[in-house]
Structure 1
Amino acid sequence: MSEDRHRLVVLGSMDEFVPLVRKARERGWHTIVCDGYPNTPAKLIADESYDVDPRDADAVARLCAEVGADGIVSSYSDLLAECCANIAQRAGLGCPLPPDRLAYLRDKSLMKGMFDELGIPYPKTARVRRGHVREDLEGMGFPCVTKPTDAWGSHGVRVLGDAREVEAAYDEVAGYSDAPYIFVEEYDDGLEFNLMSWVVDGRPVVLEVADREKSDDGEATVPWVSRIVYPSAHTDDVLGEATEMLQKVAGYVGLLNGPLCMQFFWAPGRGVRVCECAGRIFGYEHELLEYASAGAVCVEDLLLDNVYDPVAVSSRLEGHDPHLADVAAGLYFHGRDGRVVSVGGLPDESDPLVKETIVYYRPGEIISHQVGDKPYAARVYLCSPDRGELDRRTDELFQSASMTDGQGRELLLRNRRKVPEGTA
């Protein structure tokens, strides 16, 4: 092995990390994949792999020294971004933000304080303590959304109708965080968006704005994300205001080069209200950017460039237009707990609109919602130059997709496409 060959630690080993490891290896780099899960997809293709929990920053930092790592990378989850920053600081490796600054993009209490200082609007929020729920919710409107202080992956997020329901759910929500309180926000009924940007030399380049659509069949505690569409039909309505907010946040935390994403609401005449900002790329949807840009933007390339050559990111993004060349949609199928007996109605890649179909549960496997389990029952990525065509195929797949148990009970939550008011 060449002495000048980069030795890159990749923090994370699930299927989302497979393209990242492959691209690093294509560049001739030695890949070292590390997390607490054995025999996972990215570990099977890496040059080396280790089963070490990334939350143990000292242990992974020692591993970095032992394997001679000269770089570390992660993304796709707030937890892994935080772990990466902690490990990089201990191991003397580069990272977009040190832990104390990344905390403003992870800890909701610090984040809300930052928004207040920057004048960035967000839904009315209260810190709610155990045993003081009704007192702390005084003056709040309902329905409301509960959130743990520093959890990830929508754990503990609930839409609730009154203070009594918050009291009943408190222990479950608080269990995802060590903080002595939870956050409760007034429910925002505006349109919802995801925005991915990359900060280059201190200035955010908006990669895309996406429509974040949800479904609700009355059975789930909280509406679930069922479709994300790149680019948003409202890109021009929100782009200017959202970019100004990103610039303020990047300056506040001191981010010069790296990912900065934002989830927000918007309604005509009211403007943007921010749900949260994140110092990582959105997982299980960033592929849509590559599809919709006809391959012009690949997040894995940006992540890898940023480790050793941030100047290359500037070249890749020069002249980037967030309106994108095509329209891509991610369809996310969620399931109820149960043993899968039959799977049907999901397309394969012979369908001209389908870029990828991933079925997470096969017959005989059990759908579960414990922390660390598979995030979806299935997902399908579509791409077309025509949004109408994409909508029609979405509706067909939302009707046909099925996973049933031994009693014939449908395990998939029934997705419904969000139809704009005034349209059929």
Structure 2
Amino acid sequence: MKKKTILFLGAAPTQVPPIRYAREQGHHIITCDYLPNNPGHKIADEWFNVSTTDMDVVLQLAKSKRIDGIVAYASDPAAPTAAYVAEKLGLPGNPYESVLTLQRKDLFRRFLKENQFNVPVSKSFSDTEKNIAKDWASGLKLPIFVKPVDSSGSKGVTEVKDFSLYDQAFDHALHYSRAKKVVIEEKIIKKGHQVAGDGFIVDGRLAFRCWANENFDSLCNGLVPIGQTFPTTHALELQEVAHTETQRLLDLLGMKQGALNFDFVFSDQDEFYFLELGPRNGGCKIPEVIKYATGVDLIKYTVDAALGLDCSALKPTPANGYWSSYMVHAIENGCFKEIYLSDRARRCIVEQDIYVTKGDAVKMFSGSNDTLGEMIMQFSSNSEMQEMISAMEKDIKVILE
């Protein structure tokens, strides 16, 4: 295969796997990121201290380097930039406006409503509309969610159960919004677990999807995922509804290729609701867990699709066995000492990456940016997996000094 030049948007630890794959294929690798010490830069041929959200600067860089493909792996903020550059340069990608619709919560909720998808009562407001937003929100049934329209990794999201905390929640969401906009919506009474996982589009068709139960830790922040357990325990007929509705959405948006990251729920009436549909791969080692569970390498397909290579070999493949990602996290602020692992946790761990060392300051887990490490785990049964993930603090514990 002829050597290609690929521009990767982001070089953080979670974004290293596709860069490494491209290196193995002999491609010329360019990375850009506003953090010069990120590890992906170390395995790139060239790197640039450029924000992945500065679309025009990234476009000029892409033009000057005559790139053959662009990848925004596991990054919501960078996904519109990748689509914008690909569209301007005639490279493989998805329509910019469609990607932006998926990435922005306000645009996505509006799109869902206009196209008769199930959607919670929801409305977005700018930073100058705080009092108008409060009046509107006061008429909603608690609890409600207050979210930045454009953040990722659950940063800035608050579940408001007591309306006296509304102002604090609105300001918190604004702090994490680049657009300085907030979306407020009623909570969906869900059936069973929230669903996570990744999928992949080939020639406009949802060719592959692998879904998991999303898990949270109520000891710190019950809104930020601490692990995904594969496969999901939802009934197959409900999963087929999710697949059909996803394909309808992709058709309406004209999405052509590439990875998808899912977050959805079923209501207590078995109604399907999108929470998010990210136009990119999931973080939390989701693609890596999926490869263990199914043998399907979504990292490979992501890079290949960005270069316009044939991805038609991708087929539906069920998960084999019981697998989970796990985000190592602290339940309080402090100074990191060590990680306690029970004997059974040690037996289950297949891979682990720990990002902190003794003496580092750590914060209570309130967003994906507070993750201290990531693990991939394999379990002997679904019951063992569900029992452990629901109370993982018994088996994996961050010890502070």
Could you tell me the TM-score, scaled by structure 1's length? 0.85
* Letter aligned with residue 113 of structure 2: D
Counterpart of 1:118?
Answer: 115
Deviation per CA, 1:307-344: give whole Å up to 9, x if none. Answer: 22343x221x13x23x3112211122332564424213
Q: Distance in 1 between matches of 2:160 and 2:271?
A: 25
Shift, 1:81, TM fit = 0.8
What residue is the counterpart of 1:362 in the other structure? Answer: 357
1:163 Cα shift?
3.0
> Shift of residue 348 of structure 1?
10
Matches of 1:398 and 1:258 in 2, distance apart? 36
Q: Which residue of 1 aligns with 2:195?
A: 193
State how 1:172-321 maps to structure 2 within 5 Å.
Answer: 172-179=172-179, 181-190=181-190, 191-217=193-219, 220=221, 222-267=222-267, 269-284=269-284, 285-293=286-294, 296-311=295-310, 313-315=311-313, 317-318=314-315, 320-321=316-317
Bigger drift between 54-63 and 24-33 goes to 54-63
Alpha-carbon distance in 2 for matches of 1:372, 1:51: 25
| Partner in structure 1 of residue 45 of structure 2 | 47
Distance 2:3 2:34 in 1: 26
Question: 2-side partners of 1:348 and 1:37: how far apart?
Answer: 37
Residues 1:36 and 1:199: Cα distance change in structure 2 (over 3 Å): same
Structure 1 gap ranges (5+): 407-424
**CA distance in structure 1 between the aligned counterparts of 2:180 and 2:44, rounded to whole angstroms:** 40
Q: How far apart in 2 are the matches of 1:250 and 1:82?
A: 16
For the structure 1 residues 235 and 11, does the alpha-carbon distance in structure 2 shift closer, same or farther, using more than 3 Å as the test? farther
Shift of 1:174: 1.7
1:137–1:341 CA distance, 2 compared to 1 (3 A): closer
Structure 2 CA distance, aligned partners of 1:277 and 1:192?
13
Provide the C-alpha distance between the structure 2 equivalents of 1:349 and 1:44, rounded to a whole number of angstroms.
35
State the AA in 2 paired with 1:286.
P
Range with greater deviation from structure 2 (132-141 or 341-350): 341-350
2:35 to 28, 34, 37: 37
Alignment: residue pair count: 395
1:65 has 2:30 as partner: no
TM-score relative to the length of structure 2: 0.89
Aligned-pair distance for 1:207?
Answer: 1.8
Conservation of the 8 A alpha-carbon contact between 1:348 and 1:354: no
> Is the 8 Å Cα contact of residues 231 and 324 (structure 1) preserved in structure 2?
yes
Tell me, in whole angstroms, the C-alpha distance in 2 between the residues paired with 1:102 and 1:310. Answer: 21
SS at match of 1:325: coil
Q: Secondary structure at the match of 1:63?
A: helix
Query: Is this contact kept in 1: 2:338–2:400, CA < 8 A?
Result: no
What is the aligned-residue RMSD (CA, Å)?
Answer: 2.8
* Structure 1 residue 261: Cα displacement: 3.1
Moved more, 392-401 or 20-29: 392-401
Equivalent residues of 1:71, 1:93 under 8 A apart: no
- SS of residue matched to 2:213: strand
2:96 to 75, 91, 99: 99
Question: Relative contact order: is structure 1 or structure 2 higher (C-alpha 8 Å, sep ≥ 6)?
Answer: 2
Point out where structure 2 has 5 or more consecutive residues left out of the alignment: none
Alpha-carbon shift at residue 193 of structure 1 (Å): 0.5
3-state SS in 1 of match to 2:312: helix
After the TM superposition, which of the residue ranges 160-169 and 272-281 deviates more from structure 2? 160-169
